[in-house]
Amino acid sequence: MNDRVPPGDTQETEEVRGASGLKRFFFLKTTFVILLTMLLTVGGALAYTQLVKEALPDLEIPQATVITQWLGADPETSEEQITSEIEDEIITLSGVNAPSSASFDSYSIIMVEFEADADASDAMQRLRAAVGTAEAELPAEADAPEIEQISVDDRPVLTTVLNGGASTAVLSRLGEEVQERLEAVQGVNEAELGGNREEIILILLQPERLLALGLSSTEVQDAIRTANLEQPFGEIDSEEIGAIVRLEGQFRSVENLRSLPVRRAGGDRAGPPVRLGEVAVV
């Protein structure tokens, strides 16, 4: 009787005989086990090297921002009369995660994110309908809410905050300069500036001066609008010169605005000019 064990197999021992069926098979078929282990190792290594790896994968999660401007409104008023009204409608939508919001001077912003399995087109359509319903409850002085759909790829990779003891106008100009420099950097798609305030010139008419000079507020308004104008007048093309003629009439400083002639005194063309600084505080 030949008791030789086939190559690659292991002679049974008491421990092998006592093992379960699958374990007993692996104990006895060592050659098969080694080949299977090598196949899985090599296959796993090849699959890992060919696996597509992305640091920022393309995720289709419906997201949007709702921005509403109300010039002159303080943050508390914007929160009560704009942000809360719109949020109350948004949270009734199905598939919406808890929205986040913030209220600032003159504007409100709400971030809305739907669940990952929501259809983007349907989600945006339902969001616009909800915002449209809330718009009827907003103050008449507020602008219509603007809805902008965003992508996960649009999220900022860098956020910088400017603060200090300088005035708001100085910080706003500095922010605009930083924005221009960042947008000039190669590879930067967009740089957004938030919280900046545009410089506004306030003109307070003096009713007693208007009455004494026989002027109306409409005349003053028309004079300012007419004078604050820039437009091209065409080109001059000749053998000696070639130039573009352009009227640059926009005010460059507050002093220019104060010295604006509103009309002639007494309505006479020969009379002295009545300047804006004489009938208003600029």
**200-258, pLDDT tens digit by residue?**
788 888 888 888 888 888 888 888 888 777 666 666 676 777 666 666 667 777 888 88
- Residue 185 pLDDT grade (very low, low, confident, very high; cuts 50, 70, 90): confident
> Residue 95: left (phi > 0), alpha (psi -120 to 50), or beta?
left
Ranking 81-90, 142-151, 269-278 by mean pLDDT, the lowest is 269-278
Helix ranges restricted to H, the chain: 14-18, 21-28, 30-50, 75-78, 84-90, 120-135, 168-183, 207-213, 217-227, 254-258, 276-279
- Residue 1 pLDDT grade (very low, low, confident, very high; cuts 50, 70, 90): very low
Three-class SS of residue 214?
coil
- Region 125-143 average pLDDT: 91
Ranking 114-118, 135-139, 148-152 by mean pLDDT, the lowest is 148-152
- pLDDT surpasses 90 at 82: yes
End-to-end CA distance of the chain: 120
CA distances to 84, 99, 120, 250 from 89, in Å: 9, 11, 19, 44
Three-class SS of residue 244?
strand
CA distances to 43, 65, 162, 184, 191 from 175, in Å: 54, 22, 7, 14, 11
Angle at 40 between CA 36 and CA 46, to 5 degrees: 145
The pTM for the full model equals: 0.45
